[in-house]
Amino acid sequence: MSSPPANASPLLVVVSAPSGGGKTTLCQQLIATRPNVTRAITCTTREPRPGEKDGDDYYFLDAATFLKRVQAGNFLEHATVHGSSYGTLKSEVLSKLRKGLEVMLNVDVQGAAAIRAHAEGDAELKRALVTVFLMPPTLAILEERLRKRGMDAPGVIQKRLSVARQEIAQWRHFDYLIISTTIREDLRRMQAILDAEQMRQCRAQPPEIV
């Protein structure tokens, strides 16, 4: 298990990938192996599923409250998916960073772009932000992964692949690119990125030498 260097400032790690690209698994693996990493709890307007708890799995909001939060500029990013709204609160991210925790966000390319834009106007977020794009080696491999999941009809898979082409074209806007191979190797590369970022001059806090 890996821990951040002493006196290092915490990171806000934003991971994006096409649907089926493995970003959820990568984030789960990183959180499981790096004790100082936590996920930001997302707000949503959908109904809780059996076993889900408010403030643990999600912050469950009604549509009116969610809209007020949007209008107040409370979200770093937000989107509507299958009729339900989802969003990441700026206060949720900053409170965890200020506790010394590294915060992991798993978002699409539009969400990553919104977070980058917010960070440009916020020195605290800009200092913490690291963005990573996880890309499949080929679209054929991504298609195979989507089929193996068994969650989508063939027509839906083709739509996902069409969207994936557009998302992959955005990789140059990210700090790092990982070409996905195996879960173990993707995790190793992700850990190497975080270790290197912790030692960057802009984040390092060396001890006083007397």
Q: In terms of pLDDT, which residue wins out, 208 or 34?
A: 34
In-domain check, residue 17: yes
Assess whether pLDDT exceeds 70 at residue 139.
yes
In-domain check, residue 189: yes
20-45 pLDDT, tens digit each: 788 999 999 999 999 999 999 999 99
Query: Distance (Å, rounded) from C-alpha 30 to C-alpha 165?
Result: 26
Query: Distance (Å, rounded) from C-alpha 93 to C-alpha 116?
Result: 14
In-domain check, residue 87: yes
Percent pLDDT > 70 in the chain is: 95
Q: Are 118 and 110 in contact (CB under 8 A)?
A: no
- CATH number for 89: 3.40.50.300
Helix (H), strand (E) counts: the chain: 8, 9
81-119 pLDDT, tens digit each: 878 999 999 999 999 999 999 999 999 999 999 999 999
Q: In terms of pLDDT, which residue wins out, 59 or 82?
A: 59
140-194 pLDDT, tens digit each: 888 787 787 767 788 888 888 888 888 899 999 999 999 999 999 999 999 999 9
In-domain check, residue 155: yes
Closest Cα partner for 25 from 185, 164, 170, 195? 185
In-domain check, residue 91: yes
In-domain check, residue 205: no
Confidence of residue 4 (pLDDT cuts 50, 70, 90): low
In-domain check, residue 210: no
pLDDT at 137: 85
pLDDT at 37: 95
Residue 183: give the domain boundaries.
12-198
pLDDT at 117: 96
Edge-first strand order for the sheet with 176-179 is 37-39, 102-106, 12-16, 129-135, 176-179
Question: pTM of this prediction?
Answer: 0.87
Task: Provide the number of structural domains found in the chain.
Answer: 1
In-domain check, residue 4: no
